[in-house]
Chains A and B, each alone.
Chain A
Amino acid sequence: MTKLLQTLVDGISVGSLYALIALGYTMVYGILSFINFAHSDVFMLGAWISLALSQALGWADVAPPAWAIAVVLPAAMVLCAVIGFTIERLAYRPLRAAPRLNVLITAIGVSLLLENSGALPFLFGTQPQSMPRLIADRPLATIAGVNINVVDVVVVVVAVTLMTLLQWLVFGTKLGRAMRAVSFSDKIAALMGVNVNLVISFTFVVGSALAAAAGLLYAMKYPGIKQPADASWVLLGLKAFCAAVVGGIGNVRGAMLGGLLIGLVELFGAAYVSTTLRDAYVFLVLIAVLLGRPSGILGRAVVEKV
């Protein structure tokens, strides 16, 4: 029973992170119909920027104050938002009309660029580093033999808060309505007076900010930060992308659900079936969903009119 609960707690925590990253993928896909492969690198940069900021503010050696995270989180989100905006402007906008495979290549190019620039000696280097503990790492409560850690709680709380904010943004504001309109059809939205370029830029900004938050939360949960060019960042991004697809790509609520689901599948699979096939579970679930219900759990099947 303890194992079940422990796995559940861990699954929810990891799942929230996947959900945050998946949101960026799903929003961009909904609007531009392409897989932004560079998104996992924005997530990576979010983690590294948080680390660099924390070190610069002197919190590597001295215990950081309680409001530390309230400074680093918005700062990282803003910086990554700028990065996301720049990427869209310079690399994706010129290719708005190009075939999707080309934009994918460009995304791969941007991904390589971010990874290897990050690994440059004067930026983040090739050595893994330790994230300063912005949140004291101690158990909050022990329920039925399961340790619930402060960090896990913070991760889930922050993730849920951000997702709620996003929910409000997409479904409760005019800009959100514009986003949904563009994802339905950008041409018609333009005809109805929506500034499509602005909406697209905004989508990237929001997605990148969320990825940055996920990066910081990830860094707090797993303080050993791998170097920027490490393949594990891309793998994480891929899993988050699978989460987005499973939930229904283009669907914001779907991404949240998908993230949670994938987190749970991965953790339960590793705990109860076998740890050696851990990476495979996510892809197997993905393939199963795609074959059984391609539009995802919350997605709607789009009928293509000829």
Chain B
Amino acid sequence: MVSLALVGACDRMRGQKGGDEGTSGGDTILVGEFGSFTGSEATFGQSTHNGIMLALKEINAAGGVKGKKIEVKWLDDAGKTQEAGLAVTRLITENHVVAVLGEVASSLSLAGGRVAQQKGIPMISPSSTNPDVTDLGDMIFRVCFIDPFQGYVGAKFARETLKAQKAAILYDQAQAYSQGLREEFKKAFLKLGGEVVTEQAFSGGDSDFSAQLTTIRDAKPDVIYLPGYYTDVGNTVLQARKLGMTQPFLGGDGWDSAQLAKIAGSAIEGSYYSNHYSHEDTRPAVQNFVKKYKAEFNAVPDGLAALGYDSMVILADAMKRAASLGGKDLAKAISETKDFPAVTGIITIDEHRNPHKPAVVVMMKNGTPTYVTTIDPPTYATTINPPK
């Protein structure tokens, strides 16, 4: 008891010594970012961070917002929800950020989002696709599409373009993202009159999929839905081809990375995935982004980097439009984002604080994703989140 009290006192003293400047009062605007820079999710956190930093550089070079430069304070959460919640608390109460950016994994966004919602500070998640995240409250937004929509896109493409009658699903049971997409794809595919012949699971981190693939092979599907991250997809597809499977694979935005083609080589040729944007898109926003990213980081940006970039530019845009940088005003400005030309699509934030934007489906041809088609979310949006 005594030790705890002592510790409490020490903490108090420590806090008053350091501290950060840069609230909206000074001449910089402080934005918080929480992400996984260490631990198993580090790939995703790093990509997202790169996108955010690139956007930051551009925004500040163009003069900042309302004459002030933006500064991003980022904290690592090591992929743990306890640290994510604590990091967001720290950003808000100790660093006095006006908004928070983060995270990729839905459970981390939920933990951080709950804190942000309670404190009345707006948060934009670049890539959490679980619908629950924005349901936390009116302070929480996202710039990526949600699982129900993406699952629908996959199913619609499989049924209507690939004319597939039977589908097999191979999903990562350890990732909420993959589980979510599996549920939604299955629902939509069945609704569209298709048949799911088998569902097989792997655990993210597995490298050997031969057992699952053999079972899938025996079930003779027309297409295989593989909503995983590119880190696993590469190995999976390679093994599938070795087993003599020729069906096309269909995936989600987790596939988007330059590493995919490198790992999978020719095995991934002729497979498809739904994504936020296509590298071939001639829109200046996309081309500029890809060019600048390559120059800055010497690598081709993946989907997460693009979303990180978009979360920052949309936040900056909202800051310009907001009456003040207070929580409520800023959140209102974000919710009023309309037809914003982001990298990952023309974004309008809908009444559930999700972006109303189309998805593209791309096909892997000669090692690069080539554009196939766009699928819009017109009437579907209202059926995704039934009012509670």
Contact = CB atoms under 8 A, between A and B. Distances in A.
Classify A-B as touching or not with yes or no (CB < 8 A): yes
Interface of A: 3, 6-7, 10, 14, 116, 119, 126-130, 133, 137, 139, 147, 149, 218, 221-224, 226-227, 229-232, 235, 266-267, 270-271, 275-276, 278-279
B38 A229 contact: yes
SS class, residues of chain B in contact with chain A: helix
Contacts of B218: 3
Contacts of A267: 208, 210-211
User: Which interface residue of A10, A14, A149, A218 has the most chain B CB atoms within 10 A?
Assistant: A10
B213 to A, nearest CB: 9
Given A222-B207, A275-B201, 19 more contacts: A3-B215, A6-B214, A14-B208, A129-B262, A130-B262, A147-B242, A149-B242, A221-B207, A222-B238, A223-B238, A224-B207, A224-B232, A224-B234, A224-B259, A232-B204, A235-B205, A270-B211, A275-B212, A278-B202
B203 interface: yes
Interface stretch (B39-47, B108-116, B156-164, B315-323): B39-47
B243 interface: yes
A261 B361 CA distance: 43
Contacts of A227: 42-43
Interface residues of B, number: 39
Contacts of B235: 222-224
A14 B206 CA distance: 12
Contacts of B207: 218, 221-222, 224, 232
A275 B259 contact: no
B46 A126 contact: yes
B234 A130 contact: yes
Interface string B26-44: 0000000000011110110
Given A229-B38, A276-B201, A7 B259 contact: no
B19 interface: no
Interface of B: 37-40, 42-43, 45-47, 173, 200-208, 210-212, 214-215, 218, 230-232, 234-235, 238, 242-244, 259, 262-265
Contacts of A271: 210-211, 214-215
Contacts of A279: 203
A26 to B, nearest CB: 22
Contacts of A137: 238, 242
B202 to A, nearest CB: 6
Nearest to A6: B214
Contacts of A126: 37, 42-43, 45-46
Nearest to B218: A3
A223 B234 contact: yes
A305 to B, nearest CB: 44
Nearest to B204: A232
Contacts of B212: 270, 275
Given A223-B234, A270-B212, A119 B42 contact: yes
B259 A278 contact: no
Given A6-B243, A119-B42, A126-B42, A278 B205 contact: no
Nearest to B200: A275
A217 to B, nearest CB: 12
27 contacts: A6-B210, A6-B214, A116-B38, A119-B42, A126-B43, A126-B45, A127-B47, A128-B259, A129-B259, A129-B262, A130-B234, A133-B265, A147-B244, A222-B207, A222-B208, A223-B234, A223-B238, A224-B231, A224-B232, A224-B238, A227-B43, A229-B39, A230-B40, A266-B208, A275-B211, A276-B173, A278-B206
B214 A7 contact: yes
A111 B46 CA distance: 22
Contacts of A128: 43, 230-231, 259, 263
Contacts of A224: 207, 231-232, 234-235, 238, 259, 263-264
Contacts of B238: 137, 222-224
Contacts of A147: 242-244
A232 B42 contact: no
A188 B214 CA distance: 53
Contacts of A129: 259, 262
A7 B232 contact: no
Nearest to B210: A10
Nearest to B45: A126
B43 A7 contact: no
A7 B235 CA distance: 17
A270 B218 CA distance: 15
A139 B262 contact: no
A226 B42 CA distance: 11
B263 A130 contact: yes
Contacts of A116: 38
A219 to B, nearest CB: 10
Contacts of B46: 126-127
Closest 6 CB pairs of A and B: A232-B205, A270-B211, A130-B262, A126-B42, A271-B211, A222-B207
B242 A139 contact: yes
B156 to A, nearest CB: 27
Nearest to B212: A275
Contacts of B204: 232
Contacts of B215: 3, 271, 275
Nearest to B37: A126
Contact of A10 (B202, B208, B234): B208
Contacts of B214: 3, 6-7, 271
Nearest to A142: B244
Contacts of A218: 207
A143 to B, nearest CB: 13
A127 B259 contact: yes
Given A126-B46, A147-B244, A275 B202 contact: yes
